[in-house]
Homo-oligomer: A and B are copies of this chain.
Amino acid sequence: MRRQGEPFSTIVTLITAALCTLLLAVFAGLLGYGETESIRDLFQEPEFRFALRLSLQTSVAATLLATVVAIPCGYFLARNHFPGKVVVDSLLELPIVLPPLVSGVALLIFFGPLLGPFLQEAGIAIVFTPLGVIVAQWFVALPLAIRSFRQAFAAVDPRMEKVARTLGCTPFQSFWRVVLPIARPGILGGMTMTWARTLGEFGATAMLAGVTRMKTETLPMAIYLSMTNGDLSFALAIATVLLLVALLVLTAFKVFMRTEVQL
């Protein structure tokens, strides 16, 4: 259908290409400012290696937790209509609006004065712990996951479930064995976005978990601390690593999971 030289399709292609070029230029500028030779040294530093590992661990954990919650929520929103849904919908989008710093404050209030005593009794420490990193990332990235999954579930023909029911599935089984696998590409795509968000999260995390080195320091915090110290090029070197890790992981994940994307 697409003819060579059709102006509309040419323009659309050009805009996409231009945007990609812009992004590449912006990122390249970042690389250019960072001390690229220092990247090798970075990996020698135990503190950096800790931050990298913690970032990967917490972001994966937060993404998985967000997925676990967003899957039922997204499914619920995709399949149910009820009065006031528009308000619930906006409510679930609100964490996107809050500057992460404020989200962090809200979480600190919630897990500190409000819930702290109960949690302490239960032996769960969230404030100023790596667990707090996960919670903060989870909170900030959750709305993205919910919206993505919801779109993915809405695209699954409800009759697919009905057929499963006639084949002996309980509602849960039909969800687990049919809806979820069919929505897989959309779920995986949403998960990459969620993961990206958790990986870059800083404000809420710093507030809820603190920036204790070798304990709650993630890569974005390492970048921020370097910057606070006025050490821009070191900060940018870490940012470069963050970018490359993200690019690598995202691409590898997509290729490995064969999401909707073609190689």
Contact = CB atoms under 8 A, between A and B. Distances in A.
A107 to B, nearest CB: 7
A12 interface: yes
Given A26-B107, A86-B261, A106-B27, A172 B99 contact: no
Interface stretch (A15-23, A40-48, A124-132, A209-217): A15-23
Given A94-B196, A171-B8, A15 B76 contact: yes
A235 B192 CA distance: 33
B13 A261 contact: no
Given A227-B101, A242-B97, A85 B147 contact: no
Nearest to A24: B91
A154 B107 CA distance: 37
Given A69-B15, A85-B261, A101 B224 contact: yes
Contact of A250 (B90, B227, B232): B90
A91 B250 CA distance: 9
B171 A114 contact: no
A105 interface: yes
Interface in A1-56: 1, 6-9, 11-13, 15-16, 19-20, 23-27, 29-30, 32-33
Nearest to A255: B86
A160 interface: no
A226 to B, nearest CB: 11
A111 to B, nearest CB: 9
A148 B148 CA distance: 8
8 contacts: A8-B175, A24-B91, A30-B105, A93-B250, A97-B246, A99-B202, A101-B220, A151-B186
Given A98-B243, A102-B235, 11 more contacts: A7-B172, A15-B73, A86-B255, A86-B261, A87-B251, A94-B247, A97-B196, A101-B202, A102-B220, A102-B239, A154-B260
Nearest first, the 6 closest Cβ-Cβ pairs linking A and B are A8-B171, A99-B220, A8-B172, A96-B196, A97-B246, A90-B250
